[in-house]
């Protein structure tokens, strides 16, 4: 009987000690979604300086990809800024490369690829880079604008896809007809 009590006590102590061990939980591996890195684009405004823009592949992936491709292909090189107002500068119409561009309906053409409208929460502040389009809520093609001042009334109507990180003082000096060249800055 005494041996039975000792065996019983050993079983009980073992059970108590086993319950004190940390519970091991095996969870399946789930890769963390990596943020898409931004695309940095540099625009040289002939005789005025450079503007550096960071395009958000996270917030506007299709727009950023398409504009990055156009920049790499040299689509914007030799174009002219065709719209300058107190609050905005705009470019991206290939007609602006023509000798008599000022007589053409510049601001009406693009690359020929309509992009989807990529709404997001990026603000319409000074230095915002967004797609020009035929109307609010419509995706653009190749025409881009930079805001020289905040325009909250445009929020949600145009696809914002980047911000100016350097060179807003250059943007402030741009006049209609200034020639540009653009390149993607590899990091």
| Domain containing residue 103: CATH number | 2.40.100.10
Q: Does 52 fall in a domain? A: yes
What integer pLDDT is reported at residue 27 of this predicted model? Answer: 41
Report yes or no: 81 and 102 within 8 Å, Cβ to Cβ.
no
Residue-wise pLDDT tens digits, 12-27? 656 555 565 555 444 4
Q: Does 86 fall in a domain? A: yes
The list of the chain residues with pLDDT below 70 reads: 1-34
Q: Are strands 128-131 and 39-45 parallel, antiparallel or unpaired?
A: unpaired
Residue 68: which domain range?
Answer: 39-185
What integer pLDDT is reported at residue 150 of this predicted model? Answer: 97
What integer pLDDT is reported at residue 6 of this predicted model? Answer: 66
Q: Does 26 fall in a domain? A: no
Of 102, 92, 75, nearest to 176 by C-alpha is 102
What integer pLDDT is reported at residue 5 of this predicted model? Answer: 67
Q: Does 5 fall in a domain? A: no
Which helix or strand (DSSP H or E) is residue 12 part of? helix 2-19
Q: Does 119 fall in a domain? A: yes
CA dist., res. 157 & res. 175, Å (int): 25
What integer pLDDT is reported at residue 138 of this predicted model? Answer: 82
Domain count, the chain: 1
Report yes or no: 177 and 80 within 8 Å, Cβ to Cβ.
yes
């Amino acid at each position: 009987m005494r041996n039975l009590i000792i065996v019983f006590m050993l079983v009980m102590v073992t059970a108590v000690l086993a319950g004190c061990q940390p519970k091991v939980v095996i969870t399946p591996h789930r890769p963390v979604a990596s943020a898409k890195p931004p695309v940095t684009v540099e625009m040289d405004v002939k005789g005025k300086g450079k503007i550096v823009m960071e395009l958000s592949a996270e917030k506007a992936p299709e727009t950023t990809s398409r504009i990055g491709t156009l920049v790499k292909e040299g689509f914007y090189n030799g174009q002219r800024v065709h719209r300058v107002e107190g609050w905005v500068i705009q470019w991206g119409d290939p007609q602006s490369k023509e000798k008599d561009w000022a007589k053409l309906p510049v601001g009406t053409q693009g690359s020929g690829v309509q992009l989807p409208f990529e709404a997001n929460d990026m603000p319409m502040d000074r230095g915002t880079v967004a797609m020009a389009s035929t109307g609010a809520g419509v995706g653009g093609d190749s025409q881009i604008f930079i805001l020289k001042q905040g325009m909250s009334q445009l929020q949600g109507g145009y696809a914002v896809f980047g911000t100016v990180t350097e060179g807003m003082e250059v943007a402030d000096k741009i006049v209609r007809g200034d020639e540009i060249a653009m390149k993607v800055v590899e990091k």
